[in-house]
Amino acid sequence: MRIRGTTRLVGLLGWPVAHSRSPQMHNAAFAALGLDWVYVPLPVAPPDLEAAIRGLRAMGFLGANVTVPHKTAVIPYLDEISPLARAIGAVNTLRVVEGRWVGENTDVEGFRQALAETGLSARGQAVVVLGAGGAARSVLAALAMEEAREIFLINRSYERAVRLIAELSETFPPAGLRLPPVHVLRPEEPPPEGVALLINTTPVGMAPEIEASPWPPERPFPWGLQGVIDLIYEPPQTRLMALAEEAGIPAFNGLGMLLHQGARAFTLWTGQEAPLEVMRAALLEDV
Ligand SMILES: NC(=O)c1ccc[n+]([C@@H]2O[C@H](COP(=O)([O-])OP(=O)(O)OC[C@H]3O[C@@H](n4cnc5c(N)ncnc54)[C@H](OP(=O)(O)O)[C@@H]3O)[C@@H](O)[C@H]2O)c1
């Protein structure tokens, strides 16, 4: 990679960002298409977020990704928010359109693309979602777009899940999204049989706590379950995925979502089709 006076800048705002694979994914894509762009990690502590956004503007950045813990906090510092990002209450991609900083959400489309790649479908199906944090918001929007039949939402904190659904029921309709019926369950309540998909949006099982499972290991999976998707990608096979596979249920990690949200952001910035296979290979590389 050669950095010149003309090199265009994008980056990743988060805290921390050192573990992120997005720089390797995007820089490989820029190199593959011969684009004079660079993607840099931008560790920004929460109190510095507003100053960081002003800094990006001042330094002529052309966009950024936004990750934990800034996805919601960044909204007041932008000139415009896409209807989808507004409905979800989370921005993961910033781009500059005629000098205005616009907040977008590519996680939703990233999840939908990743789901399609697995060969599984949520259409007309009952789906279990574990977790009610930031990632769950995007997954719920994706399930609304996929026209899932109903959702069983299980979260450690029951009240937070109830609040989330009340909030999304208000914010989805203005963006044209219709939330399927959602049943909020407590962790000790098993979902009913006949659920087709189980999606983990909690960090439970993420390295280094790789023995942990967000689904009680002794509890059988619902009868008829067709697939498990874990948004975690480190380790590549989580305990939850291993439990599913032992029960003969296909399981997929979160690399697909990471890849496809990145590909969409890449296209928003550069206007070019993202080199998906280059990006996928870069994500799988050890750094
Ligand atoms: N693959 C991708 O592209 C992608 C994209 C986004 C996120 N992710 C992954 O998704 C995960 C969640 O991210 P997030 O932004 O949604 O986080 P978040 O906003 O902090 O939400 C975390 C959720 O997990 C629950 N949780 C946390 N620790 C738990 C524990 N020990 N036991 C039971 N439940 C627990 C929380 O429950 P309470 O409400 O009770 O606190 C909350 O519902 C992370 O692993 C992240 O890496 C992946």
Q: Is 232 in the pocket of ligand 1 (CB under 6 A)?
A: yes
Do 136 and 176 lie in a common domain?
yes
**C-alpha span between 95 and 57 (Å, rounded):** 11
Query: The domain containing residue 143 runs over which residues?
Result: 121-249
Per-residue confidence at 287, pLDDT binned at 50, 70, 90?
Answer: low
**C-alpha span between 4 and 141 (Å, rounded):** 40
How do residues 199-246 score in pLDDT, each as one tens digit?
A: 999 999 999 999 999 999 999 999 999 999 999 999 999 999 999 999
Do 130 and 244 lie in a common domain?
yes
Do 92 and 44 lie in a common domain?
yes
Question: What is the DSSP-derived secondary structure letter of residue 154?
Answer: E
Q: Does any domain span residue 171?
A: yes
What's the predicted TM-score (pTM) here? 0.97
Q: At what angle do helices 276-284 and 22-32 cross, to 10 degrees?
A: 140
Ligand 1 atom nearest the C-alpha of 257 is 3
pLDDT at 286 over 90: no
Residue nearest atom 1 in ligand 1 by C-alpha distance: 254
Q: Encoding tokens for residue 74?
A: 């960044």
Instruction: Give the mean model confidence (pLDDT) for residues 185-204.
Output: 97
Do 144 and 243 lie in a common domain?
yes
Domain count, the chain: 2
pLDDT at 1 over 90: no
**C-alpha span between 171 and 218 (Å, rounded):** 37
Distance from the alpha carbon of residue 233 to the mean position of ligand 1, in angstroms: 13
Instruction: Give the mean model confidence (pLDDT) for residues 111-123.
Output: 98
pLDDT at 153 over 60: yes
Instruction: Give the mean model confidence (pLDDT) for residues 112-135.
Output: 97
CB atoms within 10 A of CB 157: 12
Do 36 and 73 lie in a common domain?
yes
Instruction: Give the mean model confidence (pLDDT) for residues 168-183.
Output: 97
How do residues 22-56 score in pLDDT, each as one tens digit?
A: 999 999 999 999 999 999 999 999 999 999 999 99
Which CATH number goes with the domain that contains 183? Answer: 3.40.50.720
Q: Encoding tokens for residue 2?
A: 């050669």
Q: Any catalytic annotation for residue 43?
A: no
**Mutational test site, ligand 1, from 118, 129, 154, 156, max ligand atoms within 8 Å of CB:** 156
**pLDDT > 90: what percent of the chain?**
99
Mean pLDDT computed over every residue of the chain: 97
Helix (H/G/I), strand (E/B), else coil: 175: helix
Do 35 and 134 lie in a common domain?
no
Q: Does any domain span residue 181?
A: yes
**C-alpha span between 125 and 142 (Å, rounded):** 13
Q: Which pLDDT value is given to residue 102?
A: 98
Do 133 and 237 lie in a common domain?
yes
Q: Are strands 63-66 and 93-97 parallel, antiparallel or unpaired?
A: antiparallel
Do 264 and 182 lie in a common domain?
no
Q: Which pLDDT value is given to residue 159?
A: 98
Do 69 and 149 lie in a common domain?
no
Q: Does any domain span residue 144?
A: yes
How do residues 51-100 score in pLDDT, each as one tens digit?
A: 999 999 999 999 999 999 999 999 999 999 999 999 999 999 999 999 99
CA distances from 257 to 21, 118, 168, 203, 233 (A): 13, 11, 21, 15, 10
Helix (H/G/I), strand (E/B), else coil: 274: coil
